[in-house]
Chains A and B, each alone.
Chain A
Amino acid sequence: METFTQLYNGPYSWLLYVTVMAVGGAIMFVWAAGMAVIWTYGERRIAAFIQSRLGPNRVGPWGILQPIADGIKLLAKEDVRTKVAAKLLYNMAPLLVFIGAFMPFAALPFSERWVVVNMDIGLYYILAFEAVEVIGILMAGFAPGSKWSLYGGMRLAAQMLSYEVPLGLCVMVVIILAGSLNLASIVEWQSHNAWGFKEPWILGWTIFRSPAAFLAFIMFYIGGLASTKRAPFDLPEAESELVAGYHTEYSGMRFAFFFMAEYASMYLICGLAAVIFLGGWYGPIPQPAVPEGVSLVRRWSEFVAAAGGFGSLGGWVWGSLNAWADPLNLRILAHEAIGAFNMVLKAFSLYFIMIWARWTLPRIRIDQVMHLCLKVLLPFSLLCVILALVQVAVF
């Protein structure tokens, strides 16, 4: 991002800033919304294979157009609102949940350079917005005036109070070890100097650097399951107990917002876990080396400037073509693309495990959730923090 503003800093530079932000935001928005599209199909197929059946296979080849059919169905459905609903809260709740799930994508990187905003407090930002979602769900539980919704909302409140603390402490372990809240720096830290290797490959990942981090990763993942309301922690929407929990009274597009938010926040948790614990874009597939501090955008602008500058059409066209032909540029591109592949691979593997767990495990009870989070995860995550502190202080 900064690279764009460095290109041009004259009058109306904010316009460039806004445009670039909007394009980046749109890409991440499509990616986040795409999670619901990709993974509803993926989940239903995976579930089908787990349960020895076929799954959707009628709409389009192998049924891959099924999510589109589902989307059209949801759009076309009647938007029902209960008579006693608190209108403002009822209407706002799905949007708030949606915002909570989609905003963090701005700071979630694909690879070193492919990120909308490389924030210094990226980790904090993501966790903070993740918590906004909870407020929306509490509103959704309260607003329709349905008792089952209320139960769903209250359960979520109880669950959130339980998992947020250990989740935060597990992230703290990484922050202590890496010494940064910036996601790019955390990955940078993971890619150097571990176990005596300068290029440690997967040994550099946080989970292999310290037993505390390994434990923290597992607890983060469990907490993440709870925060995305996935089985076995799907109590707020427990179908067999609460009908549909907090979204009992929502239909059509409003329901679709909850739905998309759930799938987006699953990717968020998996992506975050991949970045802070599993090396992000670093490994397992090695990336070609590129010099420090180079930027595709800046190099492109240099090529354009050399071919006549941004003022002329020839400069745009020839500069861009020359930039494409440059081996270093291609190397940077490969570096980023392989990094993004690594990142998505890890995130999707974790995503798959979430789905696997959902279709295998029964649901646990609310008191057991609280027991697990407050009496098991919390002390252990505290222990991990202390271990990490000791490790940083001693080694």
Chain B
Amino acid sequence: MNSTLEQPESLRTEELLVNMGPQHPSTHGVLRLLIQTDGELVRQAWPHIGFLHRCFEKIAESVTYRQVVPYTDRLDYLASMNNALAYCLAVEKLAGFEVPERASYLRIIAAELNRIASHLVFFGCYGLDMGAFTPFLYGFRERELILSILEKLSGGRLLYHYPRIGGVARDIDPQIAAEIQNFIKEMRRVWPEYNRLLSENAIFIKRTANVGVITKEAAVAYGLTGPCLRGSGVAYDLRRAHPYSLYERFDFEIPIGQGLKGTLGDCWDRYWVRLLEMLESLKIIEQALAGLPEGQITAKVPPVIKLPEGEVYVGCENPRGELGFYIISDGKPQALRIKVRAPSFSNLSITNAIVRDVLVADVVAIIGSIDIVLGEIDR
């Protein structure tokens, strides 16, 4: 008896190519993901980028060094403070400006607040990707507190233009300091709530643990940085490895993935690293507020900044990884070339390697856990 079914000649099956994006609810902007699917199984995925290209690097060659700062805000629009900080540090390093200590501390406070805000967006959006709506609103509730603080500090709610070359735009006043203290208290209170709602949710763990595993070796080989790298168990954080802007004075841990719920380097690990990082950022802000030195908030900077001939690279720890500015100067008021090393760009490059034979729902989980911002990928 023949027990196997033979496929008739007339029945032709082939794999289905689907465009996931650029208009799709969970591609976090305008990423186009071409996925090759066999039923629910995704054989491969190719990210296509470039939909948000705004010629940042070219524009940066035609405007003065000062004028570039607001453009940097628009790279990773969820972490404007950190972008501007990295750029300012690069210019200051080449020009040799001495940034006052108070300015450095204020920059750290702003950058760490923005890091928490960015991770809160990740927390909310990752919940959305998993089909849970409520975390999104919880995350945005606390983010609103940060935004109102940063608004008072800088005047902007999303794009701040707060770190300036040589210092910061405005000084902090006691009222803002008190608000930050309140926020720290509030954040520590609600953080366990997030875990009850999402991190420890059995369905969430089922969806993220053992999914999208990035091994240590792969993470390093693909140039992953930030939580994606630390989620794979590599304790590499630029704030500790190459301290900048007085980060060496602060005491904080570097959370790394440990494979608590599944395999080391899975989506849950990357998620968890970000959640822990929020607490570490709170610690840093607390210390910075307590030890805020008196003094100027900006260095003496000439009206027209001309950098000496030469080149400089400064990398900073963005919420998404190492954001680097490589500036070449030929002595003119404009840069000869500014190259941005965007963390999301490198992080996204691993997509094709880990999206292999997974389910459609896993693609969303993996892309979400890499936490990309198209603004800095396409620039």
Contacts and interface: CB of A to CB of B under 8 A. Distances in A.
B39 A240 contact: no
Contacts of B137: 51-53
A374 to B, nearest CB: 16
B240 to A, nearest CB: 33
A361 B361 contact: no
A368 B131 contact: no
A85 B141 CA distance: 43
A231 B131 contact: yes
B220 interface: no
Contact of A368 (B24, B127, B206): B206
A235 B25 CA distance: 15
Contacts of A155: 40
Nearest to A151: B360
Interface stretch (B171-179, B195-203, B229-237): B195-203
Majority DSSP secondary structure for residues of B touching A: helix
B141 A361 contact: no
Contact of B203 (A53, A234, A358, A364): A364
A51 B135 CA distance: 8
Interface size class of A (residues with CB under 8 A): 20 to 34
B129 A359 contact: no
Contact of A239 (B131, B197, B206): B131
A242 B21 CA distance: 11
Interface string B187-224: 00000000001100101101100000000000000000
B16 A359 contact: no
A47 B133 contact: yes
B206 A365 contact: yes
Contacts of A53: 137
A147 B16 contact: yes
A47 B137 CA distance: 11
Interface string B356-379: 000111101000000000000000
B348 interface: no
A362 B40 contact: no
B26 A241 contact: yes
Given A155-B40, A238-B361, A367-B359, A362 B207 contact: yes
Contacts of A235: 361
Most buried by B among A151, A241, A366: A241
A238 B362 CA distance: 13
A294 interface: no
Given A51-B133, A154-B39, A367-B359, A362 B26 contact: no
Interface in A190-240: 231-232, 234-235, 238-240
B134 A232 contact: no
7 contacts: A147-B16, A358-B133, A362-B130, A362-B131, A364-B206, A366-B359, A368-B206
